Structure 1
């Protein structure tokens, strides 16, 4: 049976697992794969019950998504995004933002985008975006080219979610994308509680990042966090920070996805890969059972004070 969850006040019914078409893999295009393989990966996700796809112009995967969903567009929720600054850091014009939207619509072979987001906004950039871009995006929404307006954070720059904690109560964003994982749990208080209050849909990115899939990188980060006072060496073994997970017999990757999936306030957990086998495992993990309370409690005790890393 296909799993579906309510996507905040959009009232869309979406799969708890969403296919992320960017990241370090970009559906395999960044790791030597071709567009045919990438299309097969999208279709594989659809066959496994995934109906939420997240892409962006900058990823170079919108056309792949468009071809893969061409025969079943109405069954799929497509989220895309636009950068809003030039390479020199200056803001693009409203005309250029609309042009970006139009190109995204064309690439996915549609006449609308379900969720269109401003991509990687920081707290310092928020006011400009609200004043300059949101009125036009609202107009595009009225024209039917956008169903819902979203915004995504720059988790690496703002691991404490300053932008999203301001943006959600404003009321113009139906969907937000937030960085959240068991190593950095700050979104629980800073973002997810607000999203529940305002009925905003939440996409989780960074559920599994480099530090959660590379033992040496995790040790390196945890030692740094201990030096900052964010991890207690009396509680966490700095030489093997998540050894208790392996002792439980559970896969660290599985636990990482399930930890996010069942966090109150989370709508969709994104997973991105170019490997069909990994995709199968990741979707199964997100659709799996909640993390046992004992393990969740250990993770919360170990990393509940962390606030300065994205786990990358």
Structure 2
């Protein structure tokens, strides 16, 4: 495993992080037992993954907490999140943080994020809710404060464009993939300059695993004038990634493309299958794609925003 600093938080994190939500939710999405879900977390930890991300909405906080207590809480970085509305108050923040800690069975969490914040709700989170989270940080219940975007509803990342220029955010979670590269130009230069940690979600989606769906998306992009028709003239415009041997699969290419983008700290992956944990980690740890391949991906798709955010990736990804 490779490790790196998470912005200026002082935390050292694995470049591969286990996301405990999505379709799989560690296996809960397909009816797996708690023991089986804990085993998925344990498999990741045994491979050197020390970053675990969960949330109130995922229903996996108790599983993460059980795994952490059993397999070395002190060597893990645990991140959780909760959704707040504009009607919520400072008291709500304290209540939700305490509830998360009870479910986790821990006395503190390393990062607590405001979850899926829409542009219109950002000012309320910054001005009304964040001061309450900072008080909890002073009390030691939260070590660092973060914010995550609502990617499908904010594909141009308008909320983050404002948040990364302001206090108190120490960590952000954002959508970034080889079909959704906007953050490379509009987010990462600022987070690097200001020392804000970055966590990537929406890295692998059905557009990379489902050829029929991918063809539908490309056809729509061409019809909308968002993609050069010449790119689809010979079939799948991503086919060159595997045909030329640059990557083992499109999923492998997707992980490697984002992992080696400057400004990226943690690449989150999710699965409910122990056998797929190692495959995901292996892709994240592989060398960068060849420079001409990266340039081709940037030239062909770098202008797109929000592509592939409308369907989640496969449960096994």
Pairing 1:121–2:117 present: yes
Residue 202 of structure 2 is matched in structure 1 by 206
Residue 146 of structure 1 is matched in structure 2 by 142
Question: Secondary structure at the residue paired with 2:145?
Answer: strand
CA distance in 2, matches of 1:219, 1:130: 41
Quote the offset at 1:36 in angstroms: 0.8
TM-score norm. by structure 1 comes to 0.95
What per-residue deviation string (whole Å, max 9, x for no partner) do you get for residues 120-163 of structure 1? 00111100111110110111111111100000001111111100
CA distance in 1, matches of 2:171, 2:87: 22
Quote the offset at 1:69 in angstroms: 1.0
What pairs up with 1:188-199 in 2 under 5 angstroms? 188-199=184-195
Quote the offset at 1:237 in angstroms: 4.1
Question: Secondary structure at the residue paired with 1:116?
Answer: strand
Q: Is the 8 A contact 1:57 1:80 kept in 2?
A: yes
Relative to structure 2, which stretch is displaced further, 164-173 or 298-307? 298-307
Question: Secondary structure at the residue paired with 2:48?
Answer: coil
Unaligned runs of 5+ in 2: 312-317
The number of residue pairs the alignment matches comes to 307
Pairing 1:32–2:28 present: no
Residue 172 of structure 2 is matched in structure 1 by 176
Distance 1:161 1:257, change over 3 A: same
What per-residue deviation string (whole Å, max 9, x for no partner) do you get for residues 5-38 of structure 1? 1110002111000000001110010112111110
TM-score norm. by structure 2 comes to 0.94
Relative to structure 2, which stretch is displaced further, 30-39 or 227-236? 227-236
Q: What RMSD over aligned residues (CA atoms) do the two structures have, in Å? A: 1.3
What pairs up with 1:55-134 in 2 under 5 angstroms? 55-71=54-70, 72-85=72-85, 91-134=87-130
CA distance in 1, matches of 2:234, 2:192: 35
What per-residue deviation string (whole Å, max 9, x for no partner) do you get for residues 219-247 of structure 1? 11122222222211123447412111121
What per-residue deviation string (whole Å, max 9, x for no partner) do you get for residues 69-99 of structure 1? 10411100000000103xxxx6333322211
Distance 1:171 1:92, change over 3 A: closer
Quote the offset at 1:166 in angstroms: 0.4
Residue 43 of structure 2 is matched in structure 1 by 44
2:305 aligns with one of 304, 307, 311: 307
